[in-house]
């Protein structure tokens, strides 16, 4: 319970609330999260609070528009991407908690403190095409323990499966700024309380409904998908006149943070399948700082996170910017989708 709420928790109606509205650190201590990991998480959140403020300033913050450079993924980099990346990088590398960081915006991992216990992969601003239209964007992060036998700055340090994540989360810069995070003891929702500047726990142990009638996919790629995905989506669109005998709704935010947040809140299936649009690049989403952290969050909330070949978190990464096929969300619907690949 926060200092700001003077509630009588002896009242049975309010006793449940005692566990909620908790500040972040006590909530993490309740989940037995080690103190140095709590300190690292607080460092990450300090950067996201600054990004949240700058995002809310919009044009006033003079951060709109594109730089002339292109980032290493070949996409036009928005100025806010650059700002967010620098903020994240600086604050993490100065903290002493991290041995290295890896960012969507950096070609290679960047060395931190040789004695740092953790390594952090992050996408500083996911959904960057939404920046200029004042729509949903977010920061995604994934934390692993740093291997002791490798030097800081060695990219191989990051080649650890999603199963080995000790923490994953995202901060969604929406109408409210929300933190969604897991340390392996359930997925919890927090909201940034701007009056005291901290994140407060608002929902513990979020559960993704196992069934759904909502799907998220970029339909404009339809003709490039493989046959199983073509057939699956065709059956969803056929609605109550097709084999599924029920109508489905579609949503696409074009920011994975926004789409996965909706799935965590009310269920759904989110997929970015393999496609043949660019034959040299069959997948779009990144394993280390998009698919793995979202997979950890969804599995901790009772959902599934797969490729058509197996569990996302079982993949042994080959490179820090590896891309991967993604089929994730409500358990029964993901299983249904995968049945088309058999």
Determine the length of the chain. 342
**Residue 129 in marked binding region:** yes
- Token code pair at residue 305: 């996170």
> Cα 198 to chain center, whole Å?
20
- Token code pair at residue 36: 């140095």
15 touches ligand AFP by CB under 6 A: no
Q: Considering beta carbons, is residue 28 or 328 the nearer one to ligand AFP? A: 328
Burial classification of residue 227, based on how many CB atoms lie within 10 Å of its CB (0-12 exposed, 13-18 middle, 19 or more buried):
exposed
Stretch touching ligand AFP by CB under 6 A, among 35-43, 85-93, 229-237, 255-263: 255-263
- Among positions 17, 25, 46, 254, the unique one binding ligand AFP when judged by CB under 6 A: 254
- Among positions 62, 70, 75, 107, the unique one binding ligand AFP when judged by CB under 6 A: 75
218 touches ligand AFP by CB under 6 A: yes
- Among positions 229, 233, 255, 338, the unique one binding ligand AFP when judged by CB under 6 A: 255
- Among positions 127, 268, 273, 293, the unique one binding ligand AFP when judged by CB under 6 A: 127
**Residue 74 in marked binding region:** no
Question: What is the nearest approach in angstroms of ligand AFP to the Cβ of residue 329?
Answer: 13
Question: How many CA atoms, within 13 angstroms, populate the side-chain half-sphere of residue 7?
Answer: 18
Q: Considering beta carbons, is residue 38 or 82 the nearer one to ligand AFP? A: 82
Write out the E strands in the chain.
66-70, 76-78, 98-103, 110-111, 118-126, 137-145, 167-173, 177-182, 187-193, 198-203, 214-216, 249-250, 269-272, 285-286, 304-306, 323-324, 326-329
Per CB under 6 A, residues contacting ligand AFP are 75, 126-129, 218, 254-256, 259, 284-285
**Which residues belong to the annotated binding site for Mg(2+)?**
104, 123, 125-126, 290
């Amino acid at each position: 319970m926060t200092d700001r709420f003077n509630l009588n928790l002896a009242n049975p109606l309010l006793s449940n609330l005692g566990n909620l509205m908790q500040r972040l650190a006590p909530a993490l201590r309740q989940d037995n999260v080690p103190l140095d990991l709590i300190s690292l998480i607080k460092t990450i959140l300090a950067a996201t609070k600054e990004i949240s403020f700058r995002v809310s300033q919009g044009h006033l913050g003079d951060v709109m528009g594109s730089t002339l450079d292109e980032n290493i993924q070949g996409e036009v980099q928005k100025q806010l991407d650059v700002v967010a990346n620098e903020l994240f990088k600086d604050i993490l590398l100065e903290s002493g908690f991290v041995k290295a960081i890896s960012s969507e915006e950096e070609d290679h991992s960047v060395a931190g403190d040789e004695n740092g216990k953790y390594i952090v992969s992050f996408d500083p601003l996911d959904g960057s095409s939404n920046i200029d239209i004042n729509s949903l964007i977010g920061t995604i992060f994934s934390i692993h323990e740093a291997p002791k036998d490798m030097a800081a700055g060695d990219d191989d340090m990051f080649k650890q499966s999603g199963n080995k994540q000790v923490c994953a989360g995202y901060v969604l810069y929406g109408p409210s700024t929300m933190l969604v995070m897991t340390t392996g003891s359930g997925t919890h929702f927090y909201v940034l309380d701007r009056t005291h500047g901290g994140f407060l726990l608002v929902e513990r142990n979020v559960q993704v409904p196992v069934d759904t009638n909502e799907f998220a996919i970029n339909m404009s790629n339809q003709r490039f998908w493989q046959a199983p995905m073509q057939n699956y989506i065709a059956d969803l669109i056929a609605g109550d006149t097709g084999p599924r005998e029920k109508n489905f709704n579609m949503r696409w935010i074009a920011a994975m943070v926004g789409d996965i947040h909706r799935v965590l809140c009310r269920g759904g299936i989110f997929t970015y399948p393999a496609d043949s649009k660019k034959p040299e690049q069959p997948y779009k989403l990144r394993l280390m700082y998009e698919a793995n952290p979202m997979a950890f969050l969804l599995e901790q909330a009772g959902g599934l996170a797969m490729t058509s070949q197996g569990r996302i978190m079982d993949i042994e990464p080959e490179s820090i910017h590896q891309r991967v096929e993604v089929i994730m969300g409500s358990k029964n619907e993901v299983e249904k989708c995968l049945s088309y690949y058999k």
